[in-house]
Amino acid sequence: MYSKIVILHFPPEVAQNALVCQLTKKFDLMFNILSAKISSRKEGYMVLEISSANRSGFNKGVKFLKDQGIKVSSPEHEIFKDEEICTHCGACTAVCPTEALHIQRPEMQVLFDKEKCSVCELCILTCPSRAMGLFSKNTEEVV
């Protein structure tokens, strides 16, 4: 199984079209919507995890989206957790849509699984101790 997180940027002229559901129908892809903001007649975005039996099917689906006028990109940043300042309060686990942040019981420690992270940044806004942050993949600097 091949799986990848992508960000779709919808121009206003295609924001109302049901294009993402075509990934399943035409290309036998599965998708999980991790985050989205789309309005009619406005530019929007959607963060998806797209899964396919093989990379070829994934590539065909992405080409279809691009042909429809959708910009497809990969997350430019990744989330990191500063273990030294994390208080393990669990606030971030309540907002994490992918369960990348979860509480290990009985130790009551907050664990972070980067592979599940959709880079939605909700944990950064929620963390009272500011233990969650962004790391730029392009510059390798903390943002």
With a threshold of 0.85, does the pTM exceed it? Answer: no
pLDDT of residue 87: 96
Q: Does domain 77-136 have CATH number 3.60.15.10?
A: no
- The 8-class DSSP code of residue 142 comes to B
Fold of 2-73: Alpha-Beta Plaits (3.30.70)
Task: Point out which residues pair with 109 in neighbouring strands.
Answer: 104
Residues of the chain with CATH 3.30.70.20: 77-136
Task: Point out which residues pair with 31 in neighbouring strands.
Answer: 50
Q: What is the mean pLDDT of the chain?
A: 85
- Angle (CA) 136-131-134 rounded to 5° is 10
- CA of 106: how far to CAs of 85, 93, 114, 129, 130, in Å? 21, 16, 22, 22, 24
End-to-end Cα, the chain, rounded Å: 32
pLDDT in tens, 54-67: 889 999 999 999 99
